[in-house]
């Protein structure tokens, strides 16, 4: 349970209709199997002890009493299992029969939660047999124990901070105002649903979307366990479509039309972080809110994580979704720049074209913006500024890109100007320190700015979000522009955007140049080449961008602490990077992220394209002199 992870299970055994003794046996076996896998929260379907399809047999005392007796058996035979368990059965209270979820743990019944919204249409006639459940809890005697009975019950545990479980039953979820809404606003971070949802054509997709969007809307985990084979097929078929969702993402689901178990690791801390971020998610945690809160115990054991974390969280793994994402991002970038040109009335752009990935993407976006605005591409002035580190490969690619796009190309060799500058400030050209590098970067920016003044143009920024996060930009050099089109795009995504454009541009010559740009090592080209080849490779100096983008996403978007990021990075990059390498670059990431905030505090305008951004005007309002001591203390404990 360290780091807020909790293993949960939605379990559907194969039952017999109206045979509680048999059903209790298969439920016990299923519970034990889920517990063996490490599940600490186990959910079984609606009315699983009897079967959902008993019809008028629910009016028989024999069935009702047997179900109660078998519940006692299940509780007794799972008493040594360290888990909170939900199981469905019919239960008589004060002369009325209710469709109930029993919640129990360590041989202690914690709550009975009745179904509130009873269907009474087409194939479902629950009102014939059951009464609508009450909201506020009353207490009922069960085997000599007074147990709360009602819908507004929350089960809480201190095993994980923020772990609070609410329950609804099947149809409750499908209503306009489901009980889960109030439960979540009262503090529930996990909603369980004991269901018996029949299968019809197209229903599975609707059900999946309903569960997914409910977990997203309520910023919660949602565990859905549904009836399957074993139920009567007299008129209906039940598919056992079990699902576990977390904040809009389906973490696990079972194959339909067979009994099965869905198991997943949910992240309670992540959900709590999302709720803190979402200011419109207003909880109702007040003493008299009408909810009954019941505690339950769980051992604080280590969760054996089976959950996967994408190595590139900014890049969809599915090819079709990745293409859609690339098209959308290019549209956001180009429409943002188009608006800036409509506002200013200008018709010219100046862009420093190095032949590298970032400036190539910026040129693509500028071309698209000009096309959208009906402006002549000749108004795009692509400037190459060779100096001490420039290679023929990047220079030639820059030239060919400008020609292929129909832009104006200008070459300004800045070597003479930089040498004059070194002489002016007394810097020895043989000293290849940061002064040597940044002198070139700032000279390039001065050239771009002055050409923009001369041509009545905007300077288009090329730097990406990953560089900004690491501070890998020369202050008032490539750090500065008049509109930074790539400011919201991480480096791992830049590559895919350029590749997508190469695949879809319909110009084979242009695509060939773009593919060579993609194959070129990432470099600022500020140090002299070695044998004509790039000598300065960025990822050798600051670390692999796939690691840094991973760190960036889970720090800013998920709010994870350094030890949690390290844990999931080791899991995700197993076989690619060892623990020592990951820790080395994680420490580098935090050191640079905190030290370089001053560069992000004065960023030019630029469009946000995803859920992570570093603009000081919106997503990252962080002091430039904030201490990293608390984060460093955690890093120092890692090994």
Q: In a 3-state reduction of DSSP, which class is residue 23?
A: helix
Give the contacts of 214 (CB within 8 A, at least 6 positions apart): 173, 178, 180, 191, 220, 222, 245
Cβ contact 116:153 at 8 Å? no
618: exposed, middle or buried (Cβ count in 10 Å: 0-12, 13-18, 19+): exposed
Tokens representing residue 300 in the block: 């604080």
Q: Which of 54, 164, 170, 407 is catalytic?
A: 170
Do the beta carbons of residue 257 and residue 231 sit within 8 Å?
Answer: no
Q: Is 115 assigned a catalytic role?
A: yes
Which of 115, 269, 368, 491 does the annotation list as catalytic? 115
Q: What is the 3-state secondary structure (H, E, C) of 570-606?
A: HHHCCCCCCHHHHHHHHHHHHHHHHHCHHHHCCCCCC
Using only C-alpha atoms, the chain has a radius of gyration, in whole angstroms, of 30
Q: Where are the beta strands (DSSP E) in 158-308?
A: 164-169, 190-195, 221-226, 243-246, 249-253, 261-267, 292-295
Residue ranges with strand state E in 237-392: 243-246, 249-253, 261-267, 292-295, 349-352, 380-384
Q: Which of 46, 171, 231, 443 does the annotation list as catalytic?
A: 46
Q: Residue 258 catalytic? A: no
Q: Tell me how crowded residue 144 is: count the other CB atoms within 10 A of its CB.
A: 5
Helix, strand or coil for residue 477? coil
Residue 298 CA: distances (Å) to CA of 148, 306, 433, 437, 446: 20, 20, 57, 57, 63
State how far the alpha carbon of 530 is from the alpha carbons of 388, 392, 513, 535, 559, in Å: 11, 12, 23, 6, 42
318: DSSP letter: S
Residues 440/419, Cβ–Cβ less than 8 Å: no
Residues making up the chain, counted from first to last:
639
**521 and 438 Cβ atoms separated by less than 8 Å:** no
What φ, ψ does residue 266 adopt, rounded to 5°?
-95, 155
H/E stretch holding 10 reads: strand 5-11
Q: For the stretch 551-569, what's the b/e string if a residue is b when 16 or more beta carbons lie within 10 angstroms of its beta carbon? A: bbbbbbbbebbbebbbbbb
Q: Is 7 exposed, middle or buried (0-12, 13-18, 19+ CB in 10 A)?
A: buried
Handedness of CA 79, 81, 83, 88 (dihedral sign): negative
- What's the gap between Cα 105 and its chain centre? 31
**E strand or H helix at 325, and its extent?**
helix 319-344
Residues 6+ apart with CB under 8 A from 504: none
Distance in angstroms (rounded) separating the CA atoms of residues 111 and 295: 10
Task: Tell me the catalytic residues.
Answer: 46, 115, 170
């Amino acid at each position: 349970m360290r780091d807020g992870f909790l293993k949960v299970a939605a379990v559907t055994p194969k039952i017999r209709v109206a045979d509680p003794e048999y059903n209790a046996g298969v439920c016990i076996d299923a519970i034990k199997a889920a517990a063996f896998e490490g599940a600490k929260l186990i959910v079984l379907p609606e009315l699983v002890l009897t079967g959902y399809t008993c019809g008028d047999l629910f009016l028989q005392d024999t069935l009702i009493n047997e179900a109660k007796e078998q519940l006692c058996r299940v509780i007794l035979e799972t008493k040594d299992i360290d888990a909170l368990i939900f199981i469905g059965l019919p239960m008589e209270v004060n002369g009325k029969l209710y469709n109930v979820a029993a919640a129990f743990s360590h041989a202690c019944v914690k709550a009975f939660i009745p179904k509130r919204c009873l269907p009474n249409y087409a194939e479902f006639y629950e009102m014939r047999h059951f009464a609508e459940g009450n909201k506020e809890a009353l207490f009922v005697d069960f085997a000599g124990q007074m147990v709360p009975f009602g819908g507004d019950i929350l089960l809480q545990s201190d095993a994980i901070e923020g772990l609070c479980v609410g329950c609804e039953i099947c149809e409750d979820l499908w209503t306009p105002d489901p009980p889960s809404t109030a439960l979540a606003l009262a503090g529930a971070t996990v909603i369980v649903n004991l269901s018996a949802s029949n299968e019809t054509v197209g229903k599975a997709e609707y059900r999946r979307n309903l569960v997914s969007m409910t977990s997203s809307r309520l910023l919660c985990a949602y565990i859905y366990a549904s009836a399957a084979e074993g139920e009567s097929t007299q008129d209906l078929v039940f598919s056992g479509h079990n699902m576990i969702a977390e904040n809009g993402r389906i973490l696990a689901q079972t194959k339909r039309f067979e009994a099965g178990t869905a198991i997943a690791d949910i992240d309670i801390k992540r959900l709590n972080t999302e709720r803190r971020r979402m200011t419109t998610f207003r909880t109702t945690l007040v003493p008299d809110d009408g909810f009954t809160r019941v505690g339950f115990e769980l051992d604080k054991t280590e969760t054996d994580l089976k959950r996967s974390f994408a190595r590139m969280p900014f890049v969809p793994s599915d090819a079709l979704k990745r293409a859609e994402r690339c098209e959308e991002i290019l549209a956001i970038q180009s429409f943002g720049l188009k608006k800036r040109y409509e506002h200013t009335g200008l018709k010219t752009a100046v862009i420093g074209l190095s032949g590298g990935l970032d400036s190539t993407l910026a040129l693509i976006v500028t071309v698209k913006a000009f096309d959208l605005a009906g402006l002549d591409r000749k108004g795009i002035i692509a400037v190459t500024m060779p100096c001490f580190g420039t290679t023929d490969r990047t220079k030639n690619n820059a030239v060919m890109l400008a020609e292929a796009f129909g832009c104006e190309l200008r070459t300004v060799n800045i070597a003479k100007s930089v040498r004059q500058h070194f002489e002016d400030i007394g810097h020895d050209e043989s000293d290849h320190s940061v002064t040597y590098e940044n002198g070139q970067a700032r000279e390039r920016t001065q050239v771009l700015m002055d050409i923009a003044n001369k041509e009545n143009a905007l300077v288009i920024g090329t730097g990406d979000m990953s560089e900004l996060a690491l501070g890998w930009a020369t202050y008032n050099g490539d750090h500065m522009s008049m509109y930074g089109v790539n400011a919201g795009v991480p480096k791992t995504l830049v590559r895919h955007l350029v590749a997508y454009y190469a695949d879809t541009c319909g110009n084979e010559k242009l695509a060939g140049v773009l593919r060579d740009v993609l194959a070129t090592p990432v470099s600022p080209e500020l140090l002299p080449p070695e044998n004509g080849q790039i000598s300065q490779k960025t990822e050798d100096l600051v670390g692999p961008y796939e690691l840094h983008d991973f760190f960036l996403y889970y720090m800013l978007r998920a709010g994870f602490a350094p030890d949690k990021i390290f844990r999931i990075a080791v899991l995700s990059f197993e076989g690619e990077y060892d623990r020592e390498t990951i820790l080395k670059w994680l420490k580098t990431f935090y050191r640079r992220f905190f030290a370089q905030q001053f560069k992000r505090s004065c960023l030019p305008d630029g469009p946000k394209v995803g859920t992570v951004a570093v603009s000081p005007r919106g997503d990252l309002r962080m002091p430039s002199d904030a201490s990293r001591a608390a984060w460093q203390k955690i890093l120092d404990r890692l090994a």
